[in-house]
Amino acid sequence: MKRASYGLLTFLLTFTLAPSTSGQTTGFKVYISSDMEGIAGFVDSTQMSATGRDYDVGRKYMTEETNAAIAAAFSAGATEVVVNDSHGSQFNMKPHELDRRAVIITGSPKPFGMMQGIDASFAAVVFIGYHAQASTTDAVHDHTYNSHLKSVRLNGREVGEYGLNAALAGHFGVPVVFISGDSAVCRQAKDLIPGIEALPVKEGIGQTAAQTLHPEVAREKIRAAVQAALERAQTMKTTKPAGPVKLTTPVTIEMELALSAQADSAMMVPGMKRVSGRVVSYEAPDMTVAYRISRLVARLATT
C-alpha cells in the first residue's frame, strides 16, 4: 500500500503543483498499452494473427493508432512515453515504424504481460485497440487473454483485460485516462474506471463484424482525445478527474474456465481453491500477485 500511496501522491504533486505559466505541465511519463482487436478498420483474425493473410495491414494500423497516442502525449507535455506491445505474441509493431520519441517494450512472455514496465513513476496510462471482456454480446473478438477464460472476477467484480490492467496500474497509484476500442469495451471501461475518456472506433455487430471508422479518422480522433484527456488530468479542470482503480487487499481473483480439465490444471498452483467444476479462486496479497496468477492460469489452460 505504501508504494501505491506514494504513486498517487506523485501524481497529485505532478499535476497540481507543476503547471507552467502557459497552463501546461511538463515532465511527466505516459504508459501506452496497445492491443489489436479494438483497432479501427478490421475485424478478422487474418489481420490479427502472425500467420494471417493480411497481418501486415493489422500491425500497420495498430502502429499508426499507437503513433497517434504517442504524438498526443508529447503535445500534452509528456517527456517520456513507454509503449508496450500487448497483443498475442507481443511483437507485432515494428520498432522502426513507431514514433522515435517513444521507447517500446516488445516480445513475450513477460510477468506483467500487457502492463510490463508499469510502476509509480508514470503519471497516466493510455489503452489503445482494446476489446471487451470474454462473453460479451456484439463485441469484436471479446475475450480475456485467450479463448479459455470465460469470466474473470476481481473481488467479485467482472472484468476483462481493461480491468485487470487498470487494477494493476491502480496498485501503483497510476490512473488510466483513455481507452480506444470497440463500443463494448468503452462501455465496460467507463463502468469501472473513474473519469476515463473512452473513444469507440468501431461498433461490433458480432464477434467478427463491425461498423468502423476509417483508419485515418480514428487516428485523428485518438490524437485529439488522448491529448485532451492528458491535459484535463494535468489541470484537474474536470469535475470528475481520472483516478486510479483501487482494490481492497487481499485481492480475490476468481476465474471461470471453458473446461473442467483446465480447472484441474489450474489446481496445480499452490493455494488455488476449486469453487466448482470449471471455476477456481485465489486470494492474493495484492494486485501484482493476482495479475500474475491470472496470466499463469490462462497459460495453464492452454496445456
- For binding to Zn ion (CB under 5 A), which residues are involved? 35, 161
Which triple of cell numbers denotes residue 185?
A: 469495451
Task: Specify the residue, 77 or 113, whose C-beta has the smaller distance to Zn ion.
Answer: 113
Task: Specify the residue, 14 or 34, whose C-beta has the smaller distance to Zn ion.
Answer: 34
Cα 3-283-89 angle, rounded to 5 deg: 75
Cβ 114 to Zn ion shortest distance, Å: 7
User: Which of 87, 143, 148, 171 is flagged as catalytic?
Assistant: 143
Q: Which of 237, 221, 241, 238 lies closest to 72, judged by CA?
A: 221
Task: Specify the residue, 74 or 91, whose C-beta has the smaller distance to Zn ion.
Answer: 91
143 catalytically annotated? yes
Q: Which residues, in sequence order, are bridge partners of residue 144?
A: 146
Cβ 38 to Zn ion shortest distance, Å: 8
Which triple of cell numbers denotes residue 123?
A: 503519471
Residues 6+ apart with CB under 8 A from 148: 257, 258, 259, 262, 298, 301, 302
Task: Specify the residue, 76 or 198, whose C-beta has the smaller distance to Zn ion.
Answer: 198
Cβ 136 to Zn ion shortest distance, Å: 13
CA distance 291 to 303: 19
Cβ 101 to Zn ion shortest distance, Å: 25
Residue number closest to Zn ion, CB atom: 35
CA distance 161 to 27: 29
Q: Active-site residue numbers?
A: 143
